[in-house]
A and B are shown apart, each in its own frame.
Chain A
Amino acid sequence: MPPKQGRELPSKESALFKAILKLYEHKQYKRGLKQAEQILKKFPEHGETQAMKGLFLSHLNRKEEGYEFVKKGLRNDLMSHTCWHVYGLMHRADKNYDEAIKCYVNALKFDKENMQIIRDLSLLQIQMRNYEGYNETRHTLLSLRPTNKMYWVGLAISYHMLQKYDTALNVLSAFEESLKEQTDNVPDYENSEMLMYKNLVIEESGDYQKALTHLEEIRGKVVDKRGWKEAKARHLLNLGKLAQSEVEYRQLLDQNADCHAYLEGLLKARGLVGDLDGTQLEKAQRLMNELGLKYPRSHIIKRTPLKYVKGEAFHRMLDEYLQPMLRKGVPSLFVSIKDLYTNAEKAKTVEEVVLGYKNSLKANASFSGKAADGAEEPPTAYLWVLYFLAQHYDYKRETKKALECIDEALAHTPTLVELLMTKARILKHGGDSEAAMKTMNKAREIDLQDRFINSKCTKYMLRNDKMEDAEKTITLFTRSESADPLADLTDMQCMWFALECAKSHVRKGEVGRALKRLHQIEQHFCDIYDDQFDFHSYSLRKMTLRAYIDLLRVEDRLRGHPFFYEAATIAVRTYIALYDKPKHAGSGGAGGAEGLSEADRKKAERKARKAALKKSGESAAATETSGTAAANAKVDKDVDGTKFLDANYLDEAEKFARNLLTMSGDRVEAHILGAQVYTRKHKYLLALKSVKRAYALLSKPSASNASPQFAADLHVAAIEFWNAVNAAKEQKAAPVPAPTKGQETAQYPTQSPPLHPTVVTLLDEEIAALFKVATPAAFNTEFSKNAVSSPESALAAAQSGAPITILDSHCSDVKRMSLQTAISIHKGLSSSPIADRTRADKFRDAARTAFPTATYFK
């Protein structure tokens, strides 16, 4: 350890060093670097200067050198808070928050009261959701600066997040007390927000009575009147003071009659939610009638009653709802009504009513009967009726009728983009994605300035694996000045595009490229999470506390977003397929390299790599010649994403799967994938947990778990799991065999390490309880008995060894299948382990008639 006096510089250099710190604050990195070097000329081993030099270097795009100097500096002066702080700053800039926290903690050992460092540390802790640490740091901050309001509030938030509501409230109250003594007034908004935040904390503590009392107390000081009223209505509702709550919700509706939350609040206050009985239905209907008269312009109030009425009344209300909309031309009309279709009777009424309009408009330019003179409907009414019917039939997957309607509409008015877009969607649903794409392109061509259609068209091109066309189309709307228009999409975190690209790459067997896109999406989510960093200080400064709490919670649930969910499920499947491939080549669903021999596959990969190198070389050459914008653009050295193919597949899959399990734990699919990953990782207890959870979820009805495919997939995954456990039990404490051919890297142990006897006992017990039969084969037989329930399950049973005949009844009933199901059945019939040509062909013929537009069966 260097002697302590090593840090002290002679007065001239000492002044210079202080100047350097200023230069850093003012972002004068070049000058700072020069001056640091000046000191180092005389005192080459001065640790703090070395660290500062490193910091300047890293800001001047010489990060590696920077780290070197920072580490050197630290070695020369391990007791310097500056050195530790600088090291922390480096980590923080690299978003290495855990490491940064360690550095800050060390820095504080040597300078306990350095406000800057303590503040920075607290930000890192909340970012990492280390609430305990955050709370401690916040205590320190407040004790050092007890007059600063930010530190009071920060401490309260830390207790709030630890769910220590009482302490949080005490902190806030103490702060309010101290405010009273202060002469300079706090701005109204900030004070109001703080009070409302306090009310929120009380509410979350569950003491609604206290929340209500408090709310009344602060009434005069709150500027967010609307927020105040909403809180009041909510507290009353939570307290069961329904009549009073109703009054509040009615007043809120007066202010905004199109707010769902208010209407729902009112219905709750009247006890009119959930499954309603006859009298309740009547009450709801009467209430909605009354509201409808009061707020004739509210859209949601017009629509909501349709949920409650039946029969004749429904018919009448439907007329009242639909006619003005069709007259006006509201493109979203069908969407606003289709949730009624869960009731088959209502769906039928809608069809009859709108078909009636069609005939009547055609004959008399009127919705019903003969129009009085001058009261004819505009010709567009007929058009919107056709448009509605096309969507209606499409919803019912009656492709032919849907096409008839939309074609008639297009002959009537070929210039309405919505018609072409709907036609494209109908074609897509009918299984002709190429015609769908062409139609969508027509829509694009008649309105070239519509970004939405342009994006849709791009999407349809990608669904058709027309990558180049898609890129050309999407770049019509990216920023023109950027050197690489596609990179612009990445900068803008355009997820749908990345996702569709990934799916297309998967279909084409370009696995590396697909994974690259999927990881790009994951990166976007990391970035979005990182972006909250600035708000930890900003929100406290500006006192936007309720919004800040919302933000923290949104960020916590971030990876539950549908984009992440989809990307992650595809990533897990792709990695599993990659992992499985060497074992039984050709069965991987993700591989376009399917069916190639190992040698061919290698050769193709080598070739692809070479091509990629060449391509990136070309673009590198191009950047040299073209302007500065291009020169700044990073050259992608791995267009094909080969680096992802060299990764450890199961580790990567597990990372995605873990996110799925924590953020989307209510979805069967997440647990099926979890089971598949953990089975392959020989983590049988975790696999078991996922299998069990998946069965539990399947037994409860829910929209996101409803697909019959899940039951089938779960069955396959469960058998796979069971077989793997049985194989693992066989495994004696023998050395893990050398990797077999095709698994160059030793990172994929295909055989399980021997299981601990306790684990074996536990697994045996659980498996017996779960499957209730002795063997996987017996389990499959049991499952086959129920296989009549869905073709997907029957297929899964057959693939797991049940006789193929159990599929026959389904196969002869292809008309009742969805196109998706029909395609997977045909794929199942024609590939191993079933591979029954006769049955597959016979099925295809039947499917061809059932799905005349589907190209798959052509």
Chain B
Amino acid sequence: MTTTDPQPDVEAKNSMQAKYFRKALNDLTPNNVGQLKALNEVIFTEKQSDDFYKDAVKSEEFAKLALFNDICVGGITTTKETVEGSDKTKVVITTLGVLNAYRRMGLGAMLLDHIITQSEEAKDKAISEIHVNLQTKDEGVLAFFKGRGFAAKGSSGALVRLINAPVSA
């Protein structure tokens, strides 16, 4: 299609979206963990250790990569901890990032939503909350998490989203 066309019809627009804005999630494996490392090195200032990535590979569905047109452009990693004074587990987001050039296209949401669904569907409903400790004061990032049901909790500064909680909570 030509870009000079003043009014691209809706159909063309949709097919262009489907063809050239392909989005997907991918498993994190020992073979591609180098890509996550490369991503995180440009997205975050803090550098993660080799052990961090070794563990990440073992998180099964609780770590994912985001693909745009088959190129890896984002990723999420988490760890699991027990909630103090409870037999429940909380999922802690350790990194969630999308490359600058690929933001605001829904990839971050795809990654996070995947973790939320996985938490909700976890065996025995053992997961009660998802945590994230933001290192940034960025309003956009905050808006992003708030938009997905996260809220500040306590003095720790962590954002928390409850899982499988009664609606009233």
Q: Which residues of A contact B (CB under 8 A)?
A: 327-329, 366-369, 371-372, 374-375, 377-380, 382-383, 411-416, 445-449
Nearest chain-A residue to B70 (Cβ)?
A329
Report whether B31 and A448 are in contact in the complex, using a CB–CB cutoff of 8 Å. yes
- Interface residues in B67-82 by Cβ distance below 8 A to A read 68-73
Report whether A374 and B102 are in contact in the complex, using a CB–CB cutoff of 8 Å. no
Report whether B34 and A413 are in contact in the complex, using a CB–CB cutoff of 8 Å. no
- Complex A-B: 25 CB contacts under 8 Å: A329-B69, A366-B3, A368-B3, A369-B4, A372-B8, A374-B8, A374-B13, A375-B3, A375-B5, A375-B8, A375-B13, A377-B3, A378-B21, A379-B68, A380-B20, A380-B69, A412-B101, A413-B99, A414-B39, A414-B99, A415-B39, A446-B32, A447-B34, A448-B34, A449-B31
Q: Which of A371, A380, A412, A448 has the most CB of B within 10 A?
A: A380
Q: Which of B16, B31, B39, B71 has the most CB of A within 10 A?
A: B71
Contact partner of B38 among A375, A380, A414, CB < 8 A? A414
B157 at the interface (CB under 8 A from A): no
Contacting residues, chain A, for B32 (C-beta < 8 A): 446-449
Given A413-B99, A414-B41, A445-B34, A369 and B3 contact (CB-CB distance below 8 Å): yes
5 additional A-B residue pairs with CB within 8 Å, beyond A372-B7, A374-B8: A372-B5, A375-B5, A382-B101, A412-B100, A415-B72
Instruction: Give Cα A368 to B41, complex, Å.
Output: 33
Instruction: Give Cα A449 to B30, complex, Å.
Output: 9
Contacting residues, chain A, for B34 (C-beta < 8 A): 445-448
Contacting residues, chain A, for B102 (C-beta < 8 A): 379
Report whether A375 and B16 are in contact in the complex, using a CB–CB cutoff of 8 Å. yes
Minimum Cβ distance to chain A for residue B2 (Å)? 9
Report whether A378 and B30 are in contact in the complex, using a CB–CB cutoff of 8 Å. no
Instruction: Give Cα A412 to B8, complex, Å.
Output: 29
B6 at the interface (CB under 8 A from A): yes
Nearest chain-B residue to A445 (Cβ)?
B34
- Interface residues in B1-26 by Cβ distance below 8 A to A read 1, 3-8, 13, 16, 19-21
Instruction: Give Cα A217 to B3, complex, Å.
Output: 55
Instruction: Give Cα A383 to B30, complex, Å.
Output: 26
Contacting residues, chain B, for A382 (C-beta < 8 A): 101
Report whether B39 and A372 are in contact in the complex, using a CB–CB cutoff of 8 Å. no
Judged by DSSP, the binding face of A is loop
The 3 closest A-B pairs by CB, nearest first: A446-B34, A449-B31, A414-B38
Judged by DSSP, the binding face of B is mixed
Contacting residues, chain A, for B3 (C-beta < 8 A): 366-369, 371-372, 375, 377
Report whether B16 and A411 are in contact in the complex, using a CB–CB cutoff of 8 Å. no
Given A382-B101, A412-B99, A413-B101, A446 and B38 contact (CB-CB distance below 8 Å): yes
Minimum Cβ distance to chain A for residue B1 (Å)? 8
Instruction: Give Cα A171 to B107, complex, Å.
Output: 72
Report whether B99 and A380 are in contact in the complex, using a CB–CB cutoff of 8 Å. no
Minimum Cβ distance to chain B for residue A408 (Å)? 11
Minimum Cβ distance to chain A for residue B87 (Å)? 39
Minimum Cβ distance to chain A for residue B121 (Å)? 29
Minimum Cβ distance to chain B for residue A55 (Å)? 52
Instruction: Give Cα A578 to B66, complex, Å.
Output: 58
Nearest chain-B residue to A329 (Cβ)?
B69
Contacting residues, chain A, for B7 (C-beta < 8 A): 372
Instruction: Give Cα A428 to B37, complex, Å.
Output: 25
Nearest chain-A residue to B99 (Cβ)?
A413
Instruction: Give Cα A371 to B3, complex, Å.
Output: 6
Contact partner of A380 among B13, B71, B100, CB < 8 A? B71
Instruction: Give Cα A372 to B41, complex, Å.
Output: 35
Nearest chain-A residue to B68 (Cβ)?
A380
Report whether A413 and B71 are in contact in the complex, using a CB–CB cutoff of 8 Å. yes
Instruction: Give Cα A626 to B141, complex, Å.
Output: 58
Contacting residues, chain A, for B30 (C-beta < 8 A): 448
Contacting residues, chain A, for B71 (C-beta < 8 A): 329, 380, 383, 413, 415-416
Instruction: Give Cα A446 to B30, complex, Å.
Output: 10
Contacting residues, chain B, for A414 (C-beta < 8 A): 38-39, 41-42, 99
0/1 per residue, B58-95, Cβ < 8 Å to A? 00000000001111110000000000000000000000
Contacting residues, chain A, for B101 (C-beta < 8 A): 379, 382-383, 412-413
Instruction: Give Cα A704 to B63, complex, Å.
Output: 53
Q: Which of A368, A414, A449 has the most CB of B within 10 A?
A: A414
Instruction: Give Cα A819 to B5, complex, Å.
Output: 47
Contacting residues, chain B, for A448 (C-beta < 8 A): 30-32, 34
Contacting residues, chain A, for B6 (C-beta < 8 A): 372
Nearest chain-B residue to A416 (Cβ)?
B71
Contacting residues, chain B, for A371 (C-beta < 8 A): 3
Instruction: Give Cα A415 to B39, complex, Å.
Output: 7
Contacting residues, chain B, for A368 (C-beta < 8 A): 3-4
Minimum Cβ distance to chain A for residue B57 (Å)? 12
Minimum Cβ distance to chain B for residue A617 (Å)? 38
Nearest chain-B residue to A365 (Cβ)?
B3
Q: Which of A329, A371, A414, A415 has the most CB of B within 10 A?
A: A415
Minimum Cβ distance to chain B for residue A778 (Å)? 64
Report whether A328 and B20 are in contact in the complex, using a CB–CB cutoff of 8 Å. yes
Q: Which of B6, B13, B72 has the most CB of A within 10 A?
A: B72
Contacting residues, chain A, for B38 (C-beta < 8 A): 414-415, 446
Minimum Cβ distance to chain B for residue A356 (Å)? 13
Minimum Cβ distance to chain B for residue A109 (Å)? 65
Instruction: Give Cα A382 to B68, complex, Å.
Output: 14
Minimum Cβ distance to chain B for residue A850 (Å)? 33
Contacting residues, chain B, for A449 (C-beta < 8 A): 31-32
Q: Which of A369, A379, A447 has the most CB of B within 10 A?
A: A379
Instruction: Give Cα A445 to B38, complex, Å.
Output: 10
Contacting residues, chain B, for A369 (C-beta < 8 A): 3-4
Given A372-B8, A379-B102, A415 and B35 contact (CB-CB distance below 8 Å): yes
Instruction: Give Cα A830 to B120, complex, Å.
Output: 74
Instruction: Give Cα A17 to B135, complex, Å.
Output: 90
Nearest chain-B residue to A379 (Cβ)?
B101
Nearest chain-B residue to A411 (Cβ)?
B42
Report whether A413 and B73 are in contact in the complex, using a CB–CB cutoff of 8 Å. yes
Instruction: Give Cα A366 to B102, complex, Å.
Output: 16
Nearest chain-A residue to B100 (Cβ)?
A412
Contacting residues, chain A, for B37 (C-beta < 8 A): 446
Nearest chain-A residue to B2 (Cβ)?
A323
Contacting residues, chain A, for B20 (C-beta < 8 A): 327-328, 377-378, 380
Instruction: Give Cα A593 to B127, complex, Å.
Output: 69
Minimum Cβ distance to chain B for residue A373 (Å)? 8
Nearest chain-B residue to A324 (Cβ)?
B1
Instruction: Give Cα A379 to B72, complex, Å.
Output: 13
Minimum Cβ distance to chain B for residue A611 (Å)? 36
Minimum Cβ distance to chain A for residue B31 (Å)? 4
Contacting residues, chain B, for A415 (C-beta < 8 A): 35, 38-39, 71-73
Instruction: Give Cα A476 to B72, complex, Å.
Output: 24
Contacting residues, chain B, for A378 (C-beta < 8 A): 20-21, 68-69
Contacting residues, chain B, for A413 (C-beta < 8 A): 71, 73, 99, 101
Nearest chain-B residue to A328 (Cβ)?
B20
Minimum Cβ distance to chain B for residue A353 (Å)? 14
Contacting residues, chain A, for B72 (C-beta < 8 A): 415
Instruction: Give Cα A446 to B100, complex, Å.
Output: 19
Given A378-B20, A378-B21, A447 and B4 contact (CB-CB distance below 8 Å): no
Instruction: Give Cα A445 to B37, complex, Å.
Output: 10
Instruction: Give Cα A413 to B38, complex, Å.
Output: 9
Minimum Cβ distance to chain A for residue B40 (Å)? 10
Instruction: Give Cα A536 to B88, complex, Å.
Output: 74
Minimum Cβ distance to chain A for residue B29 (Å)? 8
Instruction: Give Cα A416 to B70, complex, Å.
Output: 10
- Interface residues in B99-116 by Cβ distance below 8 A to A read 99-102
Instruction: Give Cα A411 to B42, complex, Å.
Output: 7
Report whether A447 and B42 are in contact in the complex, using a CB–CB cutoff of 8 Å. no
Contacting residues, chain B, for A372 (C-beta < 8 A): 3, 5-8
Minimum Cβ distance to chain B for residue A364 (Å)? 9
Minimum Cβ distance to chain B for residue A306 (Å)? 19
Instruction: Give Cα A274 to B70, complex, Å.
Output: 41
Nearest chain-A residue to B65 (Cβ)?
A415
